[in-house]
Structure 1
Amino acid sequence: MPLMTGKQALAEMLIAEGVEYIFGNPGTSETPFLDGLQDYPQLKYMQALQEGTAVGMADGYARATGRPAFANIHIAGGLANGISGLYNAFRGGTPLVLTAGNSDTRMLMEEPTLSGDLVQMTSQYTKWSAEIHHASELPMAIRRAFKEAKTPPTGPVFLSFPWDTMDESADMDIIPSAEGYHRTRPDAAALERASALLSGADNPIIVLGDRVAQSGASAELVQVAERLGARVYATSYSEVNFPTSHPLWGGLLNTSNPATRQQFAGADVVLAVGANVFSSFLYVGDRFLEPTTKLIHLDNASWEVEKIYPTEVGILADPKAGLAELAQALEQDMSASSKEAAATRTATWGDQKTKTAEAQRQRAQAKWDNKPMPVERMMHELAQAVPPNTIVADESITSRGAVMGAFDFDEPGSMFSIRGGALGWGMPGSLGVKLANPDRPVLAIVGDGASLYTVQALWTAARFNIPVVYAICNNRAYRVLKVNMDIYLRTMLKDSDRKSEYVGMDFENTLDLAALAGAMGVAGEKIDDPAAIKEAVERAFASGKPALLDISIDGSV
């Protein structure tokens, strides 16, 4: 075993793990590691100006590559800035290895400035959190961290590197984590029971979540849905879990709205795949599923199976492998009349989807030329202007319905969005997506309020010439808070008279995002006229540089 310092062992292990980028915001506690990096130019340090930006970039990169990303931020104070991004990674299952320097272990009893229990700070939002005590532990710790991050259900891990562990020397074995074989197959008895229930169902519904995309199971889910003629809804859709142009696609469920219960009315069997059933933000007293509805849940996250709702059949398996076997079982078990009924359901759902889309189009057309422009017009113009093969990175918040209506997301890897709910993913996350896809255009659609949580990402985009085109939905407010205030008053309190003043929710001082972009080295342009969007988008992508379009839209509720 070669003798090397801790900082050398860390760099060598990252290279062995296939790491290309280190997403970081540097601090003094990382001095030894940063010193060592100049001897390893193959490890590219992507400098961020704030810790949340570094974690957001790493999150986007990990999701777009499907491999663990590595981020390094700064001791207790800086780590606190990055925890919102860590929370998103944990809730969404991003394979992320987050690290931070800490004080010299010989000082910890003295409670040094900026230090703290970093493991305790991060443990509730990680799969594994630990601190290195000796340099000799580094190879094992890094190997375990990458293994944990990429083992389904995937998620973030955290390691703390005290100063002295970077300079200590020890004999090191540089061996990366194993590739991992995670296609766990379903239990045969569970599969048989699930197929029997679904084969005899008169009104089956499928509910999916992001672990479908994480396992690469979109095609298998389409096959099962078509076999059953089942309407497909999503509890989360931060990646392409199911093609949105498909006639069986029913859209996103609003799990904070009691009216969502109507979408499950009459369902005799519900198949949930890779989904949290049903996590919500606001309290909803009524359950979405009727007492007679039978729930089947196929997932690789055992914690989520039967967590809230009684479950008839829980199947612990990789979604891709489990759906493939379920499709085969259904082909054998479904009678000719059942297959004919499934085809009829598919046609019926398709007709309903077409009529719904036309009704939405007519509602949008009635306000098409309003000033400020309606968000539907903004998204239509963007969808018509982007180059072929564009990836959308979405943190449009209350504009998301318009995004989903204007764009078809049919190809896995063509869309990524915020998950977890902590605002600030879109600005840096889109940079990570672009680094993972250097040959594809990337359009980031971000709300004006959300953009300011990590607006420093514009500096990083300019510094490294990461050519993301940002389209800012500037409605001059935290509109989502207004929407939720109305839900609180009208739905929760049943108060139809009180008129909210929306305290603290409007941006009374104008936010000039285009000027702010220019100050950070990114070309910015303000747009009020929807007719100007197409040429602006084409100019931005043709420049080969990052650009920001600050688009004024109607923010009324």
Structure 2
Amino acid sequence: MKPIDALFAVLREEGVRKVFGNPGTTELPFLDALVDNPDIEYVLGVHEGSVVAMADGYARATGRTAFVSLHVAAGLANGLIGLLNASRSRTPMVVTAGQQDRRHLLEDPMLSGDLVGLAQAAVKQTFDVQHAHDLPVVLRRAFAAATRAPAGPVLLSIPMDLLAEDTDVDLPARSVIAPLGVAGGVELAAELLVSAQRPVIVAGDGVGREKAVAELVALAEAVGATVFHQPMHDAVDFPGSHPLYAGSLPPVNAAVNNALTGYDLVFVVGAHAFNPHHYTPTPPIPAGAKVIQLDPDAAEPGRNFPVDVGLVGGVKPTVARLTELVTGRIPDTSARVEAVRERHENRWVEADQAARAAYGPPPFDPLAAVHAIAAGLPNDFVMVEEAITSGVLMRRVLRLDRPDSLVHTVGGGLGWGIGAAVGTALGTTRPVVALLGDGCTMFGLQGLWNAGRDQVPVTFLVMNNGEYRTLKDTLDNHRSRSTQTGTYHGLDLTDTRLDFTKAADFFGVPAVRPTDLAALTEIIAKATHSPGPLLVDIPVTGHPSH
């Protein structure tokens, strides 16, 4: 079997149905071979940033490892922001970067470079393939590494002449790896849960990734525990309408500490620490609280804060076993649940009232705008969210219950949302809605090319305030009152609001700008049942001046 044939055999056996790429000369042997492998589709993107973002969304929608083909050093560099996002969000991905022909690498040919060195900080593992007989083995290792906890992208540097070699190579069989089971020490953790008077659970994205939401709900109900989402969560890890749900923790350790104060036991499930965004000297865990931490990654428990019991194992089976061990041993769980429900239901009512009170003409109040959006969403939608300030507001008014209904990246590399939404739509039959900030949209506009060319059914909602509002908010928080002048440098996109309907038209995507919030609700309700894309340019008010 030739190296190129072995490559396609491995892809097929690993469940790859689509290749996301932007090609160059070093990928020509691979592109040529695609002619003889029509069952594997090449999804062309016009920029590597949107290519990797599409692969990210597709991997999460399908539950399979995505495969990406990038072009030498320049193409890899363009894709690095997406690889950083995938690493932070634990998205399994195998990425090949075509290297120049080995026979003239000493001459420092155009676009060549240290691909492994360039990628190392952004990916989980790298391989520099130099021999044809190594390629099938390395591919098997890459797919295994991409899914092993912590999951993430893996890079292979492959010279173009290696793929063109007429050499026989062996194809190793695919290994079947058993999933992680119940963590050791689960009995000790169960005793701590039973003895706790006021337990709290922090639901991390490992819960959503392992499809363990139902198991976590059962455990929370069995112990009567309040449940928070981890800060800036990427998925639905606990139902938003559940009476025990208390919302998302803020991405600041001092605020996390404040939210968790009063609880005597903190159970952190599948969360990579607390992802603090801004520094505060306060630790996230309140003094005196006991801590249980569960994660499939052995490096996680005790990594950033001390734990009383660190559990390493599968989230789904371990949580299910904990539920078995604690059920019926806590007499007052129904009273606990009712007390939590009363405390948290007011939060939804207050947000709804505040949003309705803010309704008015354009530019719209952002809380009112996301409230109007939520009113038009269908029951079975998937929201891809990259809206920064508006995204936080959306989580205040929208109760997401169904697993896999939210796609977000805690990585924070801007420009991900459009491509991720297109990739999500390619991997699901559910309606896909992308909530985007205008700054994020500017970073990832090239992804609209795929939506327009292939008529991918995504409703793109651009929250257009003409500024980097989150940076103005943050700057004001750091300024003293005496220096809050309302003057900012480098934080406004333009003196006049950008017209994203023109950008959409350029890429062949229909677009509309609503004139009132009732129209916005109606537009979304219709668009999410449309067979093609739509961009909605939503003018919203910016940062309040001083």
- 2:402 corresponds to: 411
Residue 133 (structure 1) aligned to one of 130, 141, 163: 130
* Contact 2:473/2:543 (<8 A) preserved: no
Question: Tell me, what secondary structure is at the counterpart of 2:180?
Answer: coil
Aligned counterpart in structure 2 of residue 534 of structure 1, from 500, 516, 521? 521
Distance 2:485 2:253 in 1: 21
Tell me the secondary structure at the aligned position of residue 158 of structure 1: strand
Matches of 1:517 and 1:176 in 2, distance apart?
46
Give the SS at the match of 2:127.
strand
Q: Indicate the larger mover: 270-279 or 402-411.
A: 402-411
Contact residue 460 and residue 536 of structure 2 kept, 8 A: yes
Query: What is the distance in 1 between the residues matched to 2:321 and 2:165?
Result: 52
Matched, 1:237 2:233: yes
Structure-to-structure mapping, 1:238-277, within 5 angstroms: 238-256=234-252, 258-277=254-273
Instruction: Work out whether 1:293 is the aligned partner of 2:289.
Output: yes
1:12-36 deviations in Å (ceiling 9; x for gaps)? 3212222111111111221221122
Alignment of 1:198-237 (within 5 A): 198-235=193-230, 236-237=232-233
1:368 maps to what in 2?
359
Of 412, 425, 433, 1:443 maps to: 433
Structure 1 segments unaligned to the other structure (5+ residues): none
Q: Could you list the per-position Cα deviations for residues 35-61 of structure 1 after superposition, in whole angstroms to 9, with x for gaps in the alignment?
A: 221222211111111001000000001
Check 1:554–1:510 CA distance in 2 against 1; reply closer, same or farther (3 A cut). closer
Task: Give distance in 1, aligned partners of 2:152 and 2:54.
Answer: 15
1:339 maps to which of 321, 325, 331: 331
For 1:192, which of 187, 191, 197 is the aligned residue?
187
Partner of 1:328: 324
What is the CA distance between 1:487 and its match in structure 2? 2.5
Q: TM-score, normalised by structure 1?
A: 0.94
Instruction: Out of 315-324 and 531-540, give the one that drifted further.
Output: 531-540
Shift of 1:287: 1.3
Please tell me whether residue 503 in structure 1 is matched to residue 495 in structure 2.
no
The match for 2:314 is 318
Instruction: Provide runs of 4+ in structure 1 moved above 6 Å.
Output: none
Deviation at 1:495, TM superposition (A): 4.8
The one-letter code of the counterpart of 1:206 is: I
Q: Is the contact made by 2:253 and 2:274 (CA closer than 8 Å) also made in structure 1?
A: no
Q: Is the 8 A contact 2:263 2:289 kept in 1?
A: yes
Query: 1:396: which partner in 2?
Result: 387
1:515 aligns with 2:489: no
Summarize the Cα distance change of 1:308–1:473 in structure 2 as closer, same or farther, 3 Å threshold.
Answer: same
Instruction: Go from structure 1 to structure 2 and tell me whether the alpha carbon gap of 1:179 and 1:405 turns closer, same or farther (over 3 Å shift).
Output: farther
SS for the counterpart of 1:507 is coil
Between the aligned partners of 2:127 and 2:272, the Cα distance in structure 1 is 27
Q: Would you say the 8 A contact 1:261–1:288 is kept in 2?
A: yes
Deviations 1:308-342 (CA, angstroms, capped at 9, x unpaired): 1111110101111110111111126x2xxx331x3
* Alignment RMSD: 1.7
* Contact 1:146/1:177 (<8 A) preserved: no
Cα drift, residue 364 of structure 1: 2.4
1:525 matched to 2:520? no
Most deviating of 396-405 and 512-521? 396-405
Alignment correspondent of 2:153: 156
Aligned positions, number: 542
- CA-to-aligned-CA distance 1:99-133 (integer Å, 9 cap, x gap): 11011122222222211111111122322201211
Give 3-state SS (helix, strand or coil) of 1:42's partner. Answer: coil
Structure 1 counterpart of 2:444: 454
Unpaired runs of 5+ residues, structure 2, are none
Between the aligned residues of both structures, percent identity stands at: 37
Kindly tell me: are residues 464 and 156 of structure 1, through their superposed partners in 2, closer, same or farther at Cα, counting changes over 3 Å?
A: same
| Residues 273, 319 of structure 1: 8 Å contact kept | yes
Q: CA deviation at 1:180?
A: 2.6
